[in-house]
Amino acid sequence: MRRPEMLGRLSHGERPAVLGAACIAVVAAATACTAPAAATSPVAATRAATRVLMVMGASANEPAPASTRTIAGMVRDAIASDDAVLDIAVDGPAGPVAHTPVDLVLRRGTQVEHDADRRARLTADLLASVGHTLATTAGSSGQVDTLGLLAHVARSPGSVTAVVFSSGLQSVGPLAIEAPGVGWDQVGTQKVVDAVVAQHLLPDLRGKTVVFSGIGDVAGLQPPLPDSVRVRLVNHWLGLCRAAGGDCRADQEPLPPTAPASTVPAPVVDVPALPPLDVARGDPIELPSAALFGPDSAALLPSASAVLATFARVLPADVRVRLDGRTATVPPADSARRFSLARAQACADALVAAGFPGDRITVRGLGYDAPLVADLDAGGRLVPDAAARNRSVTLTVTTNGGQP
């Protein structure tokens, strides 16, 4: 059964698991000892070692975790300290499951290895072993739960440097991308961060260093994210992580497109994208605001400007275009009309900039006066999917005889 919704308040224990045999064999050779059990690790028992934590979702819709240059550098620095341990945890149905800690101290017998050539070989072996383990690890939760991974980091005692491998496409709990109050229109905004803080949904990450890897990287059935949406998603998780008190940054190196090891189906999250602009059909074309604009902005994204420019160049000379801007039902009505007009006008400006005559374009800002669909439930609350559809600019093409 999946963990409760209030992920930031969890304190459940974790089941021990075992690393792959190949990793254990290499680590044993590098440290000249067998891999210790989690409860009796001599590293943890005798000293406060430098701790590196890698926690991952490794779902069927995410590329296999990989050791990027940044991550390999972190592990290499930890090895060089002669006082470090690596913890790995993988998401499961009840939350992240901890693997046996790996002693990163290079040894000859029971003593720290000091010979430079031998240290170089042992370091390379350890890095290769860690990379193999990451590439072959399979999550079993059937969800993408980035917030749950952060909660695991928060529960780790003491000062920890953690790598969180996740696409960031949260599919479960109150921070799911498609949950009420989130949605692509709001992802990456301070409004979401403030609401999450007010609801006490974040774990306590004070004293933790968090490096996100793979945010926006997808595999399996999950559609790819446009660059603008990926940037928004990175900002979303950095904002939440920092609001939780963590020292947080994102690894800018994308994960290689390696097939995931997991075969447990995971939900597919809808990604905002512009539909094909088909002049021949003549039907109104709904352009979702999340694919046109940044959150709370009437400035067109570069990707949207390029699509509209291409469309303008193929429009026949004898047509007219009407652009109707709409918003979700969020008062005040006058502000909604002005905002929707500004967004529709931005689309018109892009068409004109690409050569389509401005006197053949009609622009209207409807706000929520004429919604495409009803977006309030019986209690007056926004219905997320319907609200997202209403946040749009509708483009209608007519011939001279039609009424734009």
Q: pLDDT class for 14, splitting at 50, 70, 90?
A: very low
Nearest-10 crossing angle of helices 302-314, 333-353: 60
Regarding pTM above 0.85, the answer is no
Whether the CB-CB separation of 325 and 366 falls below 8 Å is answered with: yes
Whether the CB-CB separation of 175 and 183 falls below 8 Å is answered with: no
Q: Distance between CA atoms of 79 and 104, rounded to whole angstroms?
A: 5
pLDDT in tens, 221-235: 999 998 888 888 999
Q: What percent of the chain has pLDDT over 90?
A: 63
**Tokens representing 392?**
């749009």
pLDDT in tens, 312-339: 888 887 889 999 999 999 999 999 999 9
Whether the CB-CB separation of 346 and 325 falls below 8 Å is answered with: no
pLDDT score recorded for residue 401: 53
Residues 6 or more apart from 294 whose CB is under 8 A from it?
Answer: 188, 228, 232, 301
Grouping H, G, I as helix, E, B as strand and the rest as coil, residue 142 is: coil
Going through 138-240 in order, the beta strands assigned E by DSSP cover 160-165, 208-213
Q: What is the mean pLDDT of residues 264-292?
A: 84
